[in-house]
Structures are given as C-alpha cells and as structure tokens.
Chain A
Amino acid sequence: MDLNYTEAEIAFRDEVRAFIKAKLPDHLVDQSKLGTSLTKADYEEWHAILNAQGWLAPNWPKEFGGAAWNAVERHIFEDEMTKANAPRVVPFGLSMLGPVLQAFGSKEQQDYYLPRILNGDDWWCQGYSEPGAGSDLASVRTSAVRDGDHYIVNGQKTWTTLGQYANKIFCLVRTSKEGKPQQGISFLLIDMDTPGIEVRPIVLIDGTPEVNEVFFDNVKVPVENLVGEENKGWTYAKYLLTHERTNIAGVGFANAGLQNLKRIARLEQSGGRPLIENPHFAARIARVEMDLMAMSTTNLRVVSQAAAGQAPGAESSMLKIKGTIIRQEINALTRNAVGPYAMPFASEALDEGSNEEPVGPDYAAPATAQYLNNRKLSIFGGSNEIQRGIITKAILEL
C-alpha cells in the first residue's frame, strides 16, 4: 500500500494542470464560481476543448476515442478540474450511453453515434423515468410496437434532465407485456426531432427549468435504433445505472464545495470575528471534511477494484449514499455560512448574461438555490433508499 502518487502520476497531474492553465476559459470559471447556470453553448465550448485534447471521455477505451485512463488518473483529472472550477461534463452521452453502446451496441451504432457524442453533434438525454415508474423502473409503460421496419412509440417520460437542449433521447420502452415486467423492456434510441414528440419544461424549487416532461404520440422510430436485443433492455439499463452511480460519488464536486465553503467562512464575520474561527461552525466544517477525506479513499478503493476488472456492484451504491450525504451537508453549511443573505431570491442574478447585481456578497447569491437544487442528489439515479436496498440484498444478504 502506498498512498503517495508515483512519479508518473505526478507528471500526469502536472500535465493536467498545464492544460487547465492554458485552455480553461475564464468566463466558464467565473460562472462556476458564482453558480450561474451554464448555457448549452457553454457546455459545448468546454466539451470541444476537452475533445481536442482527447480527454473528453476519460473512461472510454482508446479504440472509441477515449483516454482509457486508470482509476488513479481519472481521480487526478477530476480533482484538478474541480479545483480549477471547470464546468462539469454532461454525463448522458459520455458516461451513460457511451459505455452501453460499447458493450451492447451494433458495430454500425458504435461507428455512427460514438464519434458524434465526442464531437458534439448529438446531445443525449435519458428517458428512463415515467410518472408511474420512478424507483420501480421496471414498470415503464411507454410502448414501442413493431410495425414493419419501425417501432411506433406512445407514452410519456418525465424528469428528463436538460432535455430542452437534447436532440436525442435514449429510452426504456415496453415491447412486451409477457412474463416479468423486466423481461418486456427494450432500449431504444430516439431522435427528438421526430414528429409526435413534445417537450415541456418542469420548474424545480430553485426556480430553474432543469428537467422536462417528454410526450410521445405515435412516434416512428427505425428498428435499427434498437440497442442489443428486443426485450433485453433491462440488462443494459442496469449496466448504465452502475456507471451513473460511480460518477454520483462526486468527490471532486465535494472538494470544490468544501473549498468554497471555507472561503466564505473566512470572509463572513460572526460576532466581529471570521466565522471560520467560531468553534461550532468550525466543528461542523471539520466533521464533513474528515468524512470527505475518508470517502475519497473509499472512492479510490472501489474504482481501482473496478479498474482491475471487477465491475463496481453494490459498492457503487455505498459511494452514492455517502457522496450525496457529504455534498448535501456541504450545501447546507454553505447556506448557513452566508447567514441572513441566504434569503434574497436570486434566480435572475444567476442567469447567465444577467447584469443584475447580487444582493449582498456575490458568493451568497447561489447558496440557497444550490442547497435546494442538490436535494435531488439523493433522489435521482436510484434514490438513497433504493441504494440501501441494494446493499442490504447484495452485500448483507438480508
């Protein structure tokens, strides 16, 4: 066991740092720091910069245009990116659909879609959830009925994150009502421009239209858009979710959030002294920092096992639960740190291009919105209750 980086790893870290210094645009850093919402163009700009370097898909194999980094390299990369306040990479194409296509897609699908994900031709969104199918994903009802060389899709998806930006959606659809509900589900790629699709925004409690409802009314989808075999979609869906969950640990985001929290606590005054010197508040920060230090190692342990060939199984559920609890605690502390200035409603000040001056210190404006918005972390991607269920079954065998 050796917790120090090797020389090669240090060299890698320096290379990442040099890249960030040279290529990360200032305006994106400022937006991340101030918590303003990124536009589609912002994400695309950043994806293109990473792609030009060959670093947009750290987990993809080289043959598909990925960086094929090992667990430690990915950790270093994520760590440096979040420290530098780089925007997050939108996960739907890169860390969700990409691995599924690589494992189960046809050669044609791989050749066509994977490059388009990398060079930004397609923006994917995830069409799993439905009004009646949340935690119980196997109960999806959106139907795809075979009609010659097409499927006719009818139904409704919901909670579709950034669906307003997407031109493609990957969906779980019901192709059979026989047998167990899991056995009649297929994994379908759908072009959002197809007639019969309607996207309606849902505003979340922080005031942002981050998710959408997507309605399908007799939507014609070519059969070659089916991934793998008909009625085997559940297997692919589960494979995708494990990938989704590893990213949800969010060590990098937690680290960045913690640094931001400490910066605020140094600037805020309480009783005429910096808040960070207040023993109660300092103890709460310390508690979460200690937890995070251990969690980043838990994360490395799980991910390096995965790199050694074992698929991350129930362990990724552990990471998701702990990771979301830590991030949500950091968000709560940040809200507390700004004191009364958590109260102004700052939605407009947080829109990009707004010249509205924030009320109070600039770091205060996003605190409440981020606290509210990140309540989602323990709900989506399989809620923390569902993750606990997986742990009890798979590890504890209860």
Chain B
Amino acid sequence: MNFDLTDERQMLQDGLRRYLADAYTAEARKKIEDDEAAFSPDIWTGLAEMGVIGALFREEDGGFAGEGFDIALVFEELGRIGAVDPLIDTAVLGGGLIAVLGTDAQKDVIETVIAGGAHLAVAHGEPSSRFDMPRVETTATKGADGYTLNGRKAIVVNAPSAENLIVSARTSGDIADTDGISLFIIPADTDGMTLRSYPIVGGGHAAEVTLSDVSVPNEAMLGAEGAAYDAISAMNARATLAICAEALGLMESIKTLTNDYLKTRKQFGVPIGKFQALQHRLADVLIEIEQARSAVINLAGHVDAEPSVRDVHVSATKNLIGLAARLVVEEGIQMHGGIGMTNEYELGHLAKRLTMIDHRFGDTDYHMEQFIKLAVA
C-alpha cells in the first residue's frame, strides 16, 4: 500500500494549486459568476495549457492520464478554491461519453476539448426522473434519414455555454428500462431545441431544454442504438468521483476558514476557539473530512472497476460525502456567527457550492438505497 502521489501527479497538483491561487482570486470568481458563460475564457485556457483537461482523459483518447486518482486530484484542487468552471460537464461527462462511445469522426472533438476550445453539456435528467438514471421519457423515433426527438430535459448544467449537447432519448423499451436508451450529439442551435437558461446556486449556469420534433441525422447517434445505458452509468460514476473530490476540497477550505476564525474572533475577551464547545465540534468536523477523504480514495481506486463493484463505491462515497458536507457547511456557518451568513464573505460561496453537490448525481438518501440494494441486501 502507498498513499503517496506519483511524481507526475505531485507535479500536477503543485502546478495546479499555484495556478489557481494566482488566477482564481475571489474577485475573478465573482466576475465569472456574474457572467452568462459561467467561466472565464482566460482561466479555462490556462487550465487547458497546464494540461488539466488532458489529465482527465486517457492516452488512447488523446489525454495523458484519466485514471480515478487523476480526476480526484484535479477536482479536489478546483474545490479548494471554489472554482465554478463546468469541467465536469464538458470533460468528464461529455468528453467521457464521446471517448467511450464515439466514432473516429466524433472523437475529433476531444482534441479541441483538451485544448480548451470546446464546451459540452449532457442532457440526461428529466423533470420527473429525479436521480433515477434509466428513467428516460424523451423519445427518438427513427425515420427515413435520421431520428426525430421529443421531450424535456431538466437542469442541464453548462448547456448555455455548450456548442453541442449530448442528449439521451428512448429508441425503445419502457420508461425505466436500461435497454433502449440512445445518445445523440446535437448542436445547440438545432431547430426545435430550445433552452431556458438560468444561474444555479453556488455558481454556474444550467438550462431546461425542450425538444420538439428535433430532426437529427443518423451520424448524430453516439454509440449503438438503444445501448447507451452502460456508458451513461460509467461516466456518471466518474462524474460522481469528480464532484465528491470537489466536495472534499470545499470542505477542507471551509474547515481552514473556520479554524482561522476561531483563532482570531474574540468574544468575552478571548478567541472563541478557547471555548471547548466549539473546539470539540471542529475536531469532529476534521474527523468527518478525513472520512470523506478516505471515501474519495476508495471511489478513485474503483471508479473503473466492473459495475457491481464500482457502484457500491459510488454509493458509499456519495452518501458519506453528502452527510459530511452538510455537517461541514452547517458547523462552518454556525461557528462563524453572523459573518457566516453573509454573501460577501468567502465562506458563503463555498458553503452554497458544497450544499448543492448533494443535489447532483444522487443525494444521500438515493445512495443509501442504492447501497442497501447492492451491498446490504
């Protein structure tokens, strides 16, 4: 056993941490948040040039790393700084799906993604699907020279900035069947596809996507007809790892802010960190964050394992992260008192972003049930 980073990863981590500390100031982030695009082209290019996006792809796909531990490393650093850039959507989910399912022609876009020149969004969830991955109502009907799509997609993160959307639709089967789900790469400006965009809590933008009689050619299909489910759940696992690692970074930063605050804020003539009631709670926060770190390591090591093994780790980690995140957010705000409630102070942004992580890729309850199904029952 060895929990040290390899030399390459250590270099990536050092470089990335330095770059983010310089480029991703609080002011820079506020500017990004106010912007429709939800990312700064400069920082995005900077990340691409450093090889951060390439680190999320395997060598055979044009990247240079792409293992679970690479994903975890990158997203923990992004989390620490509270970055809002939609790297999960463009690279892990969108790029990942194209990498596993795409034809050579379709895979061309990955190079542009790695170079920082393309944005993607994956339109899979629907207004009533909640967290159930196979629940797809959107239909794709085969015609003479292509498919016609109809349906609605919910909270498609990064859709407002994406040139292409990867849309799931049912080509056969019943509503919650895993068989019969197909994926299509659809340019955002395609007739019949409308986006209603909005900001999301904690930074970033999403859209509700309506598809009414959207015609796409056969070449728009990603992978074989009706057989996309396995790839969707595999990429969901990698995206869950990414977001859990991001949560870990956010938790570390909230803990550090709170720790510093307990040392400096004085009430009753002493730093509030002298009160045992707070000391012990910050100690508990620290313990839970170490648990969260171990859970992320577990998932990173199993994210590409066979589905039954992989999914036990996905659920164990996402559930634990959700619980730890809530503890860290609530204790962080509470121990800060009034300051913790303000939008201006750094903690607010980190807390909101961390809170929202429970609402993507399945929440604590959802993963509790999945875990029971897979591991306990």
User: Residues on A close to B: CB < 8 A?
Assistant: 129, 132, 134-136, 139, 158-159, 202-205, 207, 211, 268-272, 278, 280-281, 284, 328, 332, 335-336, 339-345, 359-360, 368, 371-372, 375-376, 378-380, 383-385, 388-389
Q: Interface stretch among B11-19, B89-97, B128-136?
A: B128-136
**Known: A269-B128, A270-B130, A339-B131. Contact between A344 and B198, CB under 8 A?**
yes
**Contact A205 B359, beta carbon cutoff 8 Å:** no
A342 touches B334 (CB 8 A): no
Of chain A, the residue at the smallest CB distance from B126 is: A340
Whether B355 contacts A368 by the Cβ 8 Å rule is yes
Other-chain contact of B341, A332, A359, A376 (Cβ < 8 Å): A376
Is B216 interfacial (CB-CB < 8 Å)?
no
Judging by beta carbons under 8 Å apart, are A342 and B356 in contact?
yes
A12 to B373 Cα, complex, angstroms: 52
Contacts of A205 in B (CB 8 A): 333, 341-343, 348, 351-352
**Taking CB as reference atom, which chain A residue is nearest B203?**
A345
How far in angstroms is the closest Cβ of chain A from B329?
Answer: 8
Task: Report chain B residues within 8 Å CB of A376.
Answer: 341
Decide: A203 near B200, CB < 8 A? Known: A272-B135, A336-B358, A340-B359: no
Question: How far does the Cβ of B32 sit from chain A's closest Cβ, in whole Å?
Answer: 14
- Asked whether B155 lies within 8 Å of A344 as measured between CB atoms, the reply is yes
Chain A contacts for B363, CB-based, 8 A = 336, 339
Q: Which residues of A contact B200 (CB under 8 A)?
A: 343-345
With A336-B365, A343-B356, A359-B198 as known contacts, state yes or no: A378 contacts B155, CB within 8 Å: no
Within 8 A of A (CB), among B277-334: 277-278, 326, 330, 333-334
By secondary structure, the B interface counts as mixed
Residues from chain B with a CB closer than 8 A to the CB of A280 are 365, 368-369
Question: Is B334 touching A343 in the complex (CB atoms < 8 A)?
Answer: no
B343 engages A204 (CB within 8 Å): yes
Q: How far is the CA of A383 from the CA of B267 in the complex (A)?
A: 13
- What range describes how many residues of B lie at the interface? 35 or more
9 contacts across the A-B interface (CB closer than 8 A):
A135-B272, A135-B337, A271-B132, A332-B326, A340-B130, A340-B155, A379-B334, A379-B337, A385-B277
Residue B247 lies at the interface, judged by CB distance under 8 Å to chain A? no
Scoring B residues 349 to 377 as 1 if CB is less than 8 Å from chain A, else 0, what string do you get?
A: 00110011011100111101100000000
**What residues on A are CB-neighbors of B365 within 8 Å?**
278, 280-281, 284, 336
Bound CA span A272–B136, Å: 12
A343 CA to B364 CA in the complex, in Å? 16
Are B131 and A344 in contact (CB-based, < 8 A)? no
Structural contact, A344 and B206, CB atoms closer than 8 A: yes
The answer to whether A342 touches B359 (Cβ under 8 A) is yes
- C-alpha gap A388/B278 in the complex (Å): 12
Instruction: Say yes or no: B155 contacts A269, CB within 8 Å.
Output: no
- Give residues 207-239 of B contacting A (CB, 8 Å): 208
Q: Does B338 lie within 8 Å of A379, measured CB to CB?
A: yes
Give the CA-CA distance A371 to B356 in the complex, in Å. Answer: 12
Docked complex Cα distance between A159 and B365 (Å): 36
A388 partner, pick from B266, B277, B348, beta carbons under 8 A: B277
The interface residues of chain A lying within 8 Å CB-to-CB of B352 are 205, 372
* A202: nearest chain-B partner, CB-CB: B342
Which 6 pairs of residues, A with B, have the shortest CB-CB distance? A136-B267, A205-B348, A203-B343, A345-B199, A343-B200, A339-B130
Taking CB atoms, residues of chain A closer than 8 Å to B333 are 205, 375, 379
